Structure 1
Amino acid sequence: MRQKVKLVGLGKQIALSMVTIAIGVSLIMFATSYVFFYLLDKYWPEYLPQEMSLIPTLPEVIWMMVITSVGVSMAAFFAYHLSKEILGPLNSLLISIKSVAEGDLSSKIELDDRCMKETSLLVDNFNGLVDKLKTAADEQHFWNAAIAHELRTPVTILQGRIQGLADGIFEPDKAQFDNLLNQVTRLSRIIEDLRVVSLSEHEHLAITPESTDIANELAHLVALCQPQFLVSGHTVSATYNHRFAWCDPQRFQQAMLALFDNITKHANSGPINIRTDKAGDFVTIEIEDAGPGIPEGEELTIFSAFRKASVNKRHNGSGLGLAVVAAIVHAHGGHVSYRRNLSGGSIFSLMLPATGKPIKH
């Protein structure tokens, strides 16, 4: 919707300035003409007609008034249209800014092709800002809903179990307390994962990198998760072609545990192959499973928080595991990626700096 231009403020100043310039130019023109003819009459009178007078006649006065009026009218006309071109988008911008301040993030400004380049750039930047604000608001709404959903399940279970214990419905035996402890552990895991992802998005995730024997760390983690692998029907094999990387050992363990947890929950039973190698300034860690893999078109979103692949939505997971992996790897200045193998399984590739030297990207 185009806004009506009012010649107030800047518009009035433009109009008055143009009219003042027109009157000033006319006065200067008349004054300099009289000065010129005065000097000509005083020093070179032979160049002037004998009957010429410096006092203007009535027709000359009328002519000067007409010329001045035409100049002022033209100045006012162009000032109005210039003000309209400048103030039209500015008035729309002010109204849109007010709408955005009141929470309406759908407010945008439409321009026609006649707008000045600077005005068009200003409006384009404002529309881009509104788009980013809307995206941020949508993401915040999505995060709030997702966090509430993930926390509701363990909290509901805890509430029900504790209420049952208080009412004497459940016996306060070891099994009940183990169940409560599992729910508390799950809550702690979700909260920690949320903290890691949030800090990473604002580039505040603290790491303490050092030369780390990742082969030894991986072997230790595989042994630690062996009961989990047995339950899920996975067998793990490892090939360590390179042993050391420049990373935070604790964060590395956190990332790999999150990745192992994701595989045991969502991958088909079968082999899990771990490979490490060196590629330039980076060490690559590849984890390959037996499928079913990520559906085509969803590869770019699986490392975002709460983004579950469509084949995994039936499983009980927070949707934070791979986001935690990506957050930790990115905090080290590394890269994380996904691809499918020839049999349809998944290959997760993590790239970490090989040394503490600056990396040339």
Structure 2
Amino acid sequence: MKLRAGLSRQILLAMSAITVTAGTLVFFGTYLAYTVIIAFYPRLDSGDEWLTATDLAILGASILVALPVAAVVALRLARRILEPLEALARSARRIAEGDLSARASPGDRSLGEIATLIDDFNTMAQRLQDMAADMALWNATIAHELRTPLTILKGRLQGMIDGVFDPDERSLRGLVLQVDSLARLVEDLRTVTLADSGHLDLRLERVHLAKEIREMAELLAPELRAQGFALALDLSDVTVEVDATRVRQALLALITNARRYAMRGAIRISLRQSGGETVLGVADEGPGLPPDKATRIFDPFVRGDAIRSRELGGNGLGLSVVRAIVEAHGGCVRYRPSQSGGALFEMAFKTVT
């Protein structure tokens, strides 16, 4: 292999050069030391010539013995260094060819820096494989989510063209609802994607959240009452530095989530300060989340009651949007059962002092 030949040759030549240079320096250094000593102590001079043929023969023999030893040491060192590097090169080549499952073996971990390099490479490869799997899942899920409204739109429009359906107000409103569903899905995907890439733009300003929530509740109350829900507000007067539009979007997603999945009754919105945080919570009266979904409810396209969600136009991205918005603010979102046995979602932001 070219890498092995090149690096092995360099190590061998370097070790040989070091051996010859060290032997020569030691040999002539010894004579230089004798010269200095004799200059100060002439009686020690035996009268022999400074450098004899015997001395040169000894130097040559010493170098000839040392060179094979240096070559063996150099080759063993090269083998220890090159084996993990060759494994790394093979794995990198397989990944470049599309095999994201390739991993390199660190081999002898006594070479600390190389073992660390391979560990980092394997971590990177695992992340690439996870990202590719997530992307494939996202593509399949998005295609599935888009298929339903597009199929309905195409069928209704084709039916109108063929004269099966009359293009009356009721039919056209149904088509508009499907278009709204598509627009909502696209906007939710955009929000989540921008947040994941760190490019979700926020217009931060000091906001009195209680006032914003009351205004929003007044607008939503009639529609919620018609569906059997009532809004109950428990709001402290706190100031937070947030993007008010994005917070309203997240709050609306939580209220819509409760409307889709909770039993008819009160939806409680609370706002309080706790431990340096401003906590905005939305609680319903049940039935809450099953344990198997409570740990991954903020993942994209995870639904509670899938049938009811589809009937009300859910796309499984609402809570992912909430998490994306809150984390973009440097906060966190969490779930726990409410006191009434329902679901309680809390958005925690840093309090402005």
Aligned counterpart, 1:8: 5
Deviation at 1:190, TM superposition (A): 0.6
Q: Which amino acid in the other structure matches residue 148 of structure 1?
A: A
SS in 2 for 1:9: helix
Q: Deviations over 1:42-97 (max 9, x none)?
A: 886643557x5556466x66654432222101111111111112122122222222
Contact 1:289 1:346 in 2 (8 A): yes
Contact 1:270 1:289 in 2 (8 A): yes
Q: Higher helix proportion, which one?
A: 2
Contact 2:228 2:265 in 1 (8 A): yes
Q: Report the CA distance shift for 1:352/1:6 in structure 2 as closer, same or farther (over 3 A).
A: closer
Q: Report the CA distance shift for 1:6/1:78 in structure 2 as closer, same or farther (over 3 A).
A: farther
Alpha-carbon separation, structure 2, partners of 1:41 and 1:207:
84
Tell me, yes or no, if structure 1 residue 28 matches structure 2 residue 25: yes
Contact 1:238 1:275 in 2 (8 A): yes
Alpha-carbon separation, structure 1, partners of 2:38 and 2:246:
96
| Unaligned 5+ runs, structure 1 | none
Aligned counterpart, 1:142: 137
SS in 1 for 2:294: coil
- TM-score normalised by length of structure 2: 0.88
Q: Report the CA distance shift for 1:38/1:235 in structure 2 as closer, same or farther (over 3 A).
A: closer
Deviation at 1:184, TM superposition (A): 0.3
SS in 1 for 2:268: strand
Q: Which of the numbers 338, 342, 350 marks the counterpart of 1:341?
A: 338
Q: Which amino acid in the other structure matches residue 234 of structure 1?
A: F
Q: Which amino acid in the other structure matches residue 18 of structure 1?
A: M
Q: Report the CA distance shift for 1:146/1:40 in structure 2 as closer, same or farther (over 3 A).
A: same
**Segment of structure 1 superposing worse, 336-345 or 36-45:** 36-45
Deviation at 1:244, TM superposition (A): 4.6
Q: Which of the numbers 219, 226, 234 marks the counterpart of 2:229?
A: 234
SS in 1 for 2:232: strand
Deviation at 1:297, TM superposition (A): 4.8
Count of residue pairs the alignment pairs up:
349
**Segment of structure 1 superposing worse, 289-298 or 127-136:** 289-298
* Pairing of 1:35-46 with structure 2 (within 5 A): 35=32, 46=43
Alpha-carbon separation, structure 2, partners of 1:232 and 1:46:
118
Q: Which amino acid in the other structure matches residue 321 of structure 1?
A: G
| Unaligned 5+ runs, structure 2 | none
SS in 2 for 1:8: helix
Q: Report the CA distance shift for 1:225/1:28 in structure 2 as closer, same or farther (over 3 A).
A: same
Alpha-carbon separation, structure 1, partners of 2:270 and 2:238:
10
**Segment of structure 1 superposing worse, 131-140 or 220-229:** 220-229
* Pairing of 1:1-361 with structure 2 (within 5 A): 7-35=4-32, 46-47=43-44, 56=52, 63-226=58-221, 228-230=223-225, 232-242=227-237, 244-308=239-303, 311-314=304-307, 315-316=309-310, 317-355=314-352
SS in 2 for 1:106: coil
Contact 1:275 1:287 in 2 (8 A): yes
- TM-score normalised by length of structure 1: 0.86
Q: Deviations over 1:281-314 (max 9, x none)?
A: 4332221112222222533422222233xx4234
Contact 1:85 1:115 in 2 (8 A): no
Contact 1:193 1:324 in 2 (8 A): yes
Q: Report the CA distance shift for 1:168/1:249 in structure 2 as closer, same or farther (over 3 A).
A: same
Alpha-carbon separation, structure 2, partners of 1:297 and 1:176:
40
Deviation at 1:339, TM superposition (A): 0.6
Contact 1:11 1:80 in 2 (8 A): yes
Contact 2:208 2:237 in 1 (8 A): no
Q: Which amino acid in the other structure matches residue 85 of structure 2?
A: L
Q: Which amino acid in the other structure matches residue 129 of structure 2?
A: K
